Structure 1
Amino acid sequence: MSAGHEGRTIDTETSLPDRAGEAAGADHEAEPRLALYAYLTAEHRRSYLAIMRLFTATLLPDLSPNEVAAALAPLEREGAIEAGESDPEVIADRLKRLHDWGNLVKGRRETIASSIAEFVRGAFRYQVNKLAVRVQRDVDELLRVPEGAREVSRELLPAIERGLTQLGGTLSKAITAERQGGSVAKRAREELAEQVTTLFLQHAELAVTVRDFYAYLGQVVTRHNLEPDEISGFRNLLVEYIQMVVEDVLRHTPTIADSLKGLARGRSELLRLLGPNDQLGGAVERARGRSRTDWQELTDWFVDRPGRPSQVTALREATARAIGSLLASVKRATAGGGLLPGRRSELLELASWFDWAEPAEAHSIYAAAFGLYSSRHLLPAPEHDGDDEHTPWRDGPVVDVTVSVRSRGDRGARGRASRILDDPFTQETLLAEARKADQRRAAAVFELAAAAPKLEETELSSDALGVFCELLTLAMAQRERDTDQGSAADPVRGLRLTLQPTEEEPTRIKTVSGVLTLHGARVALTTEQPEVRSS
């Protein structure tokens, strides 16, 4: 398999595994792991967070409910957790729930207690699960993240470029030292492992900062009401920073791609020298850079493959879209004419009134502002829109206000109707289809007119049968009550069908699809001069 980037090719010794199969298996295996996040949305989540922070703050924790209760007592006095949450009985229940979710595992240690109840509580000691440590670490990191943009670690690009260049030379020295054996080979392997680990750590940090920055950028381009200072900041973000990031990426990518091409030839030797660490025993989670998949993912970040663009290409395309969206937002915000000024400041002032108002005053303000009063529910009450009945409205889910309501205070549709495009190709196609259908109908009418003298002896085609059934339906609908006779004609070609009642044998019309039998009716076809209407 080969991967190309601007004329370059990178040969890989084995193809990528079936990602679809891996994803399906991973989703099935991940179901128990998803329960590790349950405590983040459960009731009393502040207590669960405090407990998990206690278990993840030290190495090899082994705590009993009494020890956890003693550690959480100061938090309860400070108001960080709800009152009564530091009670040992309550803590024992919280620890049991965390154990059921998989965040904690049972520990084993002798317990010294002064009472049977204390012994029962202390007999169950808990330790933290490895995956739960990662979950809590990610949660704490997420809570510390500011709302603004995250700076892209551009300085890591030249570091990755130098690291790949040095890694090629280190690999050659390690292969040579492997033949000598002894301490020389050991030092060469350690140096090789150090460079590989550093390289993948640098790339992981770069990829994370790029993803976070462009996620923030996607948030920015959807903004409609911009303050003057925000416009200035977004202009700098647009003109300077984004362009600088893309230029750095594009400048270092060719050299990085060449280095990856050279390392691809010796990848088998590289992975062999970075073989498994026998000191860790059985199955372990190895560091990045020790498998073919890791190196393929690193290559795919910088190098395009047929049908699979690299992250560099995706970054360039996302930048072009973001620049266009940001330009449109800045132009809309700084334009002199156009729509009426936004009502953002008025809505913020109204929100501040609701914030300090008492419940009775808030109802009056609401009625005065929106003209709405107490509603009468004719249907069952809707479900609560919060996480639970204890969630205040200010902590509940945010309602997305549309642009028309936010800017103009109305819900009416705006904008002119779309212009009808002139499409000559489609027009000619439709005209050709209409002409073809008209020719087929003319041929069918001519066939019926020719078969009129001997209608029951002639076999009608499918098109002629269609016209015949059409006229027959109209004639039956126009029958007179007294004579039970009806007729219908084709006004364009003058073919008339007359339907008369009869007690003779049924009329049989032969067609390519079978025989049409009419009981108690006789059919006659005549040709007359079509009507000419003058305007």
Structure 2
Amino acid sequence: MTSTDDPHANQPVGDAARGNDSYQPFAHLTTEHSALYRQVMGVFVRAKQEFTVHLRPEDVHLGLPAEGRPQAESVAVALERLAKWGNLRADPDTGRVTALEDFYRSRYIYQLTRAGEAAEEALAAYDEALGRRGELQAVALADIAVQLRALLALAGQPEPDPAVAHLALLALVDRFSGLAENARAFMSSLQRTVDLHDADVEVFLAYKQRLIEYLERFIEDLVTRGAEIAVLLESLGAPHDGPVGALLRSAAAREASDAAPDAAAEALAAAERRWYGRWEGLRAWFVSVPGRSSQAKLLRSAARQSIPQLLSVVQALNERRAGRSDRSADFRELAHWFAEAPDDQARHRLWRSAFGLYSARHLTIDQEALAERETDPVPASASWYDAPGVRISPQLRRTGSYERRGRVRAVQDRSEAKVHLADLARKQAEQTATARARLATGGEVRLSGLGELDPAAFRLFLRLLGDALSAWRPGTDTVAVTTNDGTMEIRLTRLGEGTAEIRTLDGVLRGPEHLVEITDLAAEYESAGSVR
């Protein structure tokens, strides 16, 4: 088994085998014949699933794929090396000994070791994680909202059941973790789909419409459900001072109840930190704060940006299929011309014609050099290699920059501009708050009962009305939506008769009569915070 024809005899074992012995079962991944080793280990994994413990070399050889099956000698060498690395255990094969000379022959049966089985499980998990295709889970958003409403009800009880609170928090964390991980994986796979669209044009064109509809549906659900979830999270508050704090501490105490007496305090503190971190992560995913947008908002932006990217890819593919040229096609054709050029002189002419890069004659030079150039001019087509040298400034030669030293420009004082911008932002915020207060109805009213609206209130009303109408579905008479920032909610109900008129300074808006209820959620948050 150690002849000079052995392809495995002199191959490196790898740093894993020379280093820590506990990582030797991964040494077969860094060798020249790693594919063969993976196939051999796959035979043992399948045999274990079928409750087969020991395998002989000929059994392993037959278990390999028939197409491209290696020689039996190579399989035997691979088994020996896998046994040396600790993936397999080799035991003398005494079941077929019929004569004395059989005892002196190297016959072994092999089985998986614990280390080898653990290595294969790790590799299987790695392959599964890389190949997993994420998905945008609109159902998970509804489930998260349901769990938050249940927690809000528990927080309102005088003495909530610790077991019920703990299970509700566990279900919320599990659903939210799945949503976040699948969203990350989906956006990564979506970008790969956009980047690798040339792999199969027909499949991509057939897939793009379903993908765009899928993205649009998820964006719509994320806008509506995300605003509802943000409101519920604001109602539950922060972990240290909000109503949810008691539930988190109760769940932490229940988790730490089984700890040893000498480690109970440490386990309780660790459990509280863990639950506080989970809750802060959930809030950061749905609630934006000044200077930091929520992850849901970033995900919504990324999903929206991917739609025009997909459409641009489709447009480029259609133009390419229709025979229209693009820059990449031009460069490929130019590369063919370069390859077909008869000599270097022709290639130089082609280069100058294609890119227009000629000799540079615009460097800063002194008067003596200019006079010399006028006496003995150098044509612009002359090669820099053949043309005489150009005397330039030593400073330009030494530093690469030709800037004259002088007085440094004074730093501008922008304090007045900052004060102006801050005052403008404050006035805009007050104007928006006044418009929200003007539109708040305090219950259902007719559109015609809103009265005359000033320009700011009318612009805000048009945005609310547009959000409500865009969320309307056939067969429904009522729709309720929340703005992206979670400050306003509008509920619109169709009446089916009558015409509404809303008067403004710019004219009169007419349309079908509806019942409308507009709620200023920002004012409710402020009042709830002042009460607490």
Q: TM-score, normalised by structure 1?
A: 0.42
Larger radius of gyration: 1
Larger RCO, structures 1/2 (Cα 8 Å, 6+ apart): 1
TM-score (norm 2): 0.43
